[in-house]
Amino acid sequence: MIAVAVQSTPIDAAVAVAPLTAERSDVGAVVTFTGFVRDDNGLTALTLEHYPAMTECALATIAAQAAARWPLSGGVIVHRVGRMVPGEAIVLVAVASSHRSAAFQAAEFLMDWLKTKAPFWKAEERAGGVTWVAAKASDDTAADRWNDRRGESVFELRPAV
C-alpha cells in the first residue's frame, strides 16, 4: 500500500505523488517530504551507495511499520542512488490519510527511520576530496522517538556489545 522505489534517475515528485489521490475522493491530507542535496561548505556532488539485495526489503519493512501505526490510505517512498549534484532530490516520502495528524506523523516517522534503518551511505565530494558522511546522533534520537516493542523487534541496528 506504500510503494517503494530505488532509482538512479532524477525523482519526479509530481509523478510519484499523483497516484495517492488519483481517482479518489476519500483522501483528506497528503504530506510530502523531499530531501535535497545542499551545497554546504563547497560540496560539489553527493554519491549514495546502497546494498541492493537489502534495500527494497528494508524500505518495504519501514513502509509496513508506518502502515501498521497510522491509518493511511496510501504512500510512496522513492530513494535515489548514485551520484547527484546540489539542488537534486535525494529522497521523497509522501503519505495520504483522512486526517492531517496521521499524515504528518507517518511522513516524519518514515524519514526518521529511512535515515537510520535503511542501507544507504552518503559520500560527499568537495575540492579537497571525497569524505563519507558520519551518522548523526540527532538522527538516532529522532528515530528512537518511535520505538516500541514492535519496532525494536524488527530493527536493532546497534551491536549488542
Residues that bind a copy of itself (CB under 8 A): 13-14, 21, 24-40, 85-87, 98, 100-101, 103-104, 107-108, 111, 142
What's the min distance (Å) between Cβ of 161 and a copy of itself?
29
Q: Is 52 or 82 the residue whose CB approaches a copy of itself more closely?
A: 82
Please state, in angstroms and as integers, the Cα–Cα distance from residue 24 to each residue in 5, 29, 33, following that order. Answer: 22, 12, 21
Buried b (16+ CB within 10 A) or exposed e, 49-78: ebeeeebbebbeebbebbbebbebbbbbbb
Report the DSSP beta bridge partners of residue 76: 3, 94
Q: Which does 24 bind (CB under 5 to 8 A by kind): other proteins, a copy of itself, none?
A: a copy of itself
Q: Is 100 or 156 the residue whose CB approaches a copy of itself more closely?
A: 100
Q: Which does 119 bind (CB under 5 to 8 A by kind): a copy of itself, other proteins, none?
A: other proteins
Within its chain, how far is the Cα of 77 from the centroid?
A: 6
In the list 132, 141, 150, 152, the residue contacting other proteins (rule: CB under 8 A) is 132
Does the footprint of other proteins cover residue 111 (CB under 8 A)? yes
DSSP state, residue 75:
E
> For residues 106 and 126, what is the distance between their CA atoms, to the nearest angstrom?
34
Does the footprint of other proteins cover residue 160 (CB under 8 A)? yes
Does the footprint of other proteins cover residue 99 (CB under 8 A)? no
Does the footprint of other proteins cover residue 91 (CB under 8 A)? yes
CA distance from start to end of the chain? 37
Does the footprint of other proteins cover residue 119 (CB under 8 A)? yes
Specify the DSSP element, H or E, that contains 152: helix 149-154
Does the footprint of other proteins cover residue 68 (CB under 8 A)? no
Selection from 121, 89, 114 nearest residue 13 by Cα? 89
Interface contacts to other proteins, rule CB under 8 A: 35, 48-51, 53-54, 57-58, 79, 90-91, 111, 114-123, 132-136, 139, 155-161
